């Protein structure tokens, strides 16, 4: 069997690029390190190797085509592992690692011309990425570290303490560091639950004396 023609190859790679870009764009917009370019490259690489595997399988005497597909899975496993980061008791990057793996699977499907499978797995993956986060936030009890940098004005302590208490954090459970010139104060506290943390961050950002609010892990 000859290699796919130029138009056929362009069609498969074009479909793969589009589908990979959709997942990569979602990750890019959420500020993840593996974004648009990474997902497109992963998808196209898997797509081309899938076409190579198709040619090898048709020739018969060139070896086992299954080894190429296995190599794709192994390679993506290493790449995905690099996207996973651990911060204390929390682990970040699992969703991005999974999205890279799904992109590779979609690329393999597009590479053999199974566009329906590639499109459907991309569609269902996007539904999961875009809509199920709210459900996770509603039930998650994952601890989130909130760090607030605020102006050291008299009303700061009263307002901030009231906000923290509203979300179940007593002043004794916060850590405060005042800058050397006394103009700013950095307050750190742990909040249980992603949804509660997100609401607290929104309320803090509404305060005029608050300069910045950071959450670890990052909130979507």
| Domains in the chain, number | 2
Instruction: Name the residue range of residue 208's domain.
Output: 143-216
- Are residues 119 and 197 both part of a single domain? no
**Overall pTM surpassing 0.85 (yes/no):** no
Task: Give pLDDT tens digits for 25-75.
Answer: 998 888 777 889 999 999 999 999 988 887 776 665 555 666 777 777 777
- Residue 173 is predicted with a pLDDT of 73
Q: Above pLDDT 90, what percent of the chain?
A: 28
Question: Do 168 and 132 reside in the same domain of the chain?
Answer: no
In this structure, are 108 and 32 located in the same domain? yes
- Based on the fold, state whether residues 155 and 61 are members of the same structural domain: no
What is the 8-class DSSP label of residue 117? H
Tell me, yes or no, whether 22 and 72 share the same domain. yes
Of 139, 163, 192, the residue at which a domain comes to its end is: 139
The reply to whether 185 and 204 lie within a common domain is yes
If 0-12 CB within 10 Å is exposed, 13-18 middle and 19+ buried, where does residue 197 land? Answer: buried
Look at residue 14 and tell me if it is in a domain: yes
- Look up residue 100 and give its two tokens: 């890279």
The kind and range of the H/E element at 125 are helix 115-139
Encode pLDDT of 148-177 as tens digits: 787 776 666 677 777 777 777 776 677 877
Q: Are residues 62 and 93 in the same domain?
A: yes
């Amino acid at each position: 069997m000859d290699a796919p023609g130029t138009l056929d190859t362009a069609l498969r790679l074009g479909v793969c690029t589009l589908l990979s870009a959709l997942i990569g764009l979602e990750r890019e917009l959420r500020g993840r390190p593996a974004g648009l370019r990474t997902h497109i490259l992963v998808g196209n690489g898997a797509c081309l190797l899938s076409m190579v595997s198709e040619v090898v399988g048709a020739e018969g005497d060139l070896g086992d085509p299954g080894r190429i597909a296995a190599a794709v899975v192994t390679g993506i496993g290493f790449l995905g592992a690099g996207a996973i980061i651990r911060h204390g008791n929390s682990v970040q990057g699992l969703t991005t690692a999974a999205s890279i793996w799904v992109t590779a699977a979609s690329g393999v499907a597009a590479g053999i011309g199974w566009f329906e499978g590639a499109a459907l797995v991309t569609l269902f993956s996007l539904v999961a990425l875009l809509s199920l986060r709210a459900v996770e936030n509603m039930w998650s009890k994952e601890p989130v570290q909130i760090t607030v940098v605020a102006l050291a004005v008299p009303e700061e302590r009263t307002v901030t303490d009231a906000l923290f208490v509203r979300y179940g954090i007593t002043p004794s459970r916060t850590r405060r560091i005042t800058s050397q010139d006394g103009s700013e104060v950095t307050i750190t506290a742990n909040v249980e639950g992603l949804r509660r943390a997100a609401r607290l961050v929104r309320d803090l950002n509404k305060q005029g004396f608050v300069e910045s609010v950071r959450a670890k892990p990052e909130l979507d």
